[in-house]
Structure 1
Amino acid sequence: MELYFLGTNAGVPTLQRNVTSIALRLLEERRSLWLFDCGEGTQHQILKSPLKLSKLEKVFITHMHGDHIFGLPGLLSSRGAQGVTLPLAIYGPPGIKSFIETTLNISQSRVPYTMEIMEHTGGVLFEDDSFRVEAAKLDHRAESYGYRIEEKDLPGSLDLKRLEAYGLKPGPLYGKLKRGESVDLGGGRWIHASDVLLTPKKGRVVTILGDTRPCPGVESLSKGADLLVHEATFMDDLTELAHEYYHSTAKQAAEAAERAGVKTLFLTHFSSRYKDIEHLQPLLKEAQQIFENTRLAEDFGLYPIQRRS
């Protein structure tokens, strides 16, 4: 599981940073790609990256502001032009269905794959044997949501010493035990999976927030997350401006991470007044004074999400 940032700027693109889009790579977990927001130029950023539209399985939109959705019609059209047939699920706030259908219809764009557009107002949006995705409302000028992606726990590894003591050698029976099944050794002897499986591997939790001021939804979505992506449009000296425009400061993002007990905080959605990575260092320093394990998201930055021990 890895995060790949395609755009980290707020409002408009600059020469250094594109507007918001984040990819969650699940190549080992389900051989697919999930996209969170799709600002203008996102498909161009993908062309410069190792990501492939043929792997794109789901798109999650946080809110309907242009710097988060203007790249979507072009990306959907290009995905079809590349001959991709994999169905695509799109989740977003009310209005996303009308936006997509109107722009594709007016532009006569051809989409040769099945596309399901699901508008929501929060709650559990998706769940299968491996993942659960939940959304909650944030505090922004437009109806904005954050997403909590929970990977379900995986079975622990087989205890090879115990298996050897039972006289079992590697083979099909190992697979049955790994799947949680019991094995008949004959003569009334059985091995149950619980006898030979080590501690389950805890699933990872990733929280990706849309634009927001500090609010209860931030903490509920972020609680105990392995990785939190939080907007940091301004520094603390512009707290009043941040509040007026329904945004957060780097300090407020760090305070949220500290309260929620997350493992790693990534700051993103930076105002254009902070022109390059050098000008962003004060934001990083401000946040690290409160939450040490804070990092700056960078365009084309790839960040593995490690399991907690």
Structure 2
Amino acid sequence: MSVRELVVLGTASQVPTRHRNHNGYLLRWDGQGILFDPGEGTQRQMLRAGVAAHDIDRICVTHFHGDHSLGLAGVIQRINLDQVPHPVTAHYPASGQHFFERLRYATAYRETVRLTEGPVAADGPLAVTDAYTLDACRLSHPVESYGYRLTEPDGRRILPERLAAHGITGPDVGRIQREGVLDGVTLDEVSEVRRGQRFAFVMDTRLCDGVHALAEGADMLVIESTFLDEDVRLATDHGHLTAGQAAAVARDAGVRHLVLTHFSQRYSDPAEFERQARAAGFDGELSIAQDLMRVPVPKRT
């Protein structure tokens, strides 16, 4: 059975709290796992969340601030210690190559797993698989930062009423799906396009074109909302978003499920982020992220 869900490992911003670890997010996408922004403590949070090193196929780092990357050393060493049987690919801003290398080889360990490095130097596709296309898009932050977008290929949805109209039943249904045509009837005549699902991950950034491009039409958008709206000047100065700004992006992009995260330690009431997101006009599914929560990707419409 396929599983598509976000496992939240940490939700703090620069400073962790008693209730919030530094960042860390695992996207389960059918049989694959993408780990985003493993901050300090991610390896322990994985244990608490029931996430194994074997679950990781790809690592995506948005930028090299510590709360988004200091956990890389432990995660990479754990992947090797557990002798993960498949190759793992790591994406990160190319300008931070030296930071990645320092973290990868922070201490001595035995390498047992093929870790492929995939530095990101420009907007565009990073990987194209049968399951998804992974794209990166530049964001606006004091250090080079990229957001990521996963897009599933479009498929076809069989329409029973059209099958019946053409008298197609039983094994012939599978045949027309495999071969695309049956006795002069094409697959297009008995089906419609089923849009592939879309997932977007946006961390530290001001409002910019990249934020909107990543969010457009996303079934799930995971996005930072470090500040509340009354502190918008601080947000802009430090290269961050407010809850209202993030929600407005999701509203305009037609996002189905919005996950707000990366909260400043200055705020004690998570409900205020939800209130401001709703005040900004976002009326879809909304999650105010908490450590160790699981958020299912919305089912196809």
Both structures adopt the same fold (TM-score exceeding 0.5): yes
Letter in 2 for 1:76: I
Letter in 1 for 2:45: Q
Residues 85, 114 of structure 1: 8 Å contact kept? no
| Cα separation, partners in 2 of 1:161 and 1:134, compared to 1, 3 Å | closer
Distance apart, 1:34 and its partner CA: 0.7
> Equivalents in 2 of 1:124, 1:282: separation in Å?
36
Q: Which has the larger radius of gyration?
A: 1
Distance apart, 1:244 and its partner CA: 1.5
| Match runs of 1:1-309 below 5 Å | 1-27=4-30, 31-121=31-121, 122-157=123-158, 159=160, 162=163, 166=167, 168-170=169-171, 174-183=173-182, 189-196=183-190, 198-275=191-268, 279-290=269-280, 291-293=282-284, 294-309=286-301
Other structure's SS at 2:252 match: helix
TM-score relative to the length of structure 2: 0.90
1:199-254 CA distances to partner (integer Å, 9 max, x unpaired)?
A: 23221111110201111111111112112112111111111111121111111111
Distance apart, 1:125 and its partner CA: 1.0
Distance apart, 1:73 and its partner CA: 1.1
| Cα separation, partners in 2 of 1:167 and 1:127, compared to 1, 3 Å | closer
Residues 202, 307 of structure 1: 8 Å contact kept? no
Other structure's SS at 2:275 match: helix
> Equivalents in 1 of 2:63, 2:186: separation in Å?
48
TM-score relative to the length of structure 1: 0.88
Other structure's SS at 1:179 match: helix
> Equivalents in 2 of 1:259, 1:292: separation in Å?
11
Distance apart, 1:142 and its partner CA: 1.0
Other structure's SS at 1:136 match: strand
Range with greater deviation from structure 2 (112-121 or 125-134): 125-134
> Equivalents in 1 of 2:201, 2:105: separation in Å?
30
> Equivalents in 1 of 2:218, 2:146: separation in Å?
17
Equivalences, count = 295
Letter in 1 for 2:271: Q
> Equivalents in 2 of 1:205, 1:302: separation in Å?
18
Residues 70, 103 of structure 2: 8 Å contact kept? no
Residues 2, 25 of structure 1: 8 Å contact kept? yes
> Equivalents in 1 of 2:10, 2:106: separation in Å?
27
Letter in 1 for 2:22: V
Task: Note the aligned Cα RMSD (angstroms).
Answer: 2.1
Distance apart, 1:104 and its partner CA: 3.8
1:249-273 CA distances to partner (integer Å, 9 max, x unpaired)?
A: 1111112112222222211000012
Residues 134, 148 of structure 1: 8 Å contact kept? yes
Distance apart, 1:288 and its partner CA: 0.7
1:24-80 CA distances to partner (integer Å, 9 max, x unpaired)?
A: 1013xxx11111110011111110113222121111110010100000111111111
> Equivalents in 2 of 1:239, 1:147: separation in Å?
24
1:158-205 CA distances to partner (integer Å, 9 max, x unpaired)?
A: 6388369646533xx54442234334xxxxx45533344x32322111
| Cα separation, partners in 2 of 1:51 and 1:200, compared to 1, 3 Å | farther
> Equivalents in 1 of 2:104, 2:236: separation in Å?
35
Structure 1: segments with no counterpart, 5+ residues: 184-188
Residues 159, 192 of structure 2: 8 Å contact kept? no
1:272-296 CA distances to partner (integer Å, 9 max, x unpaired)?
A: 1224xxx111121011111133321
| Cα separation, partners in 2 of 1:87 and 1:160, compared to 1, 3 Å | farther
Residues 132, 150 of structure 1: 8 Å contact kept? yes
Range with greater deviation from structure 2 (69-78 or 93-102): 93-102
Residues 232, 267 of structure 1: 8 Å contact kept? yes
Give percent identity, aligned residues only.
34
> Equivalents in 1 of 2:266, 2:213: separation in Å?
31
Range with greater deviation from structure 2 (293-302 or 263-272): 293-302
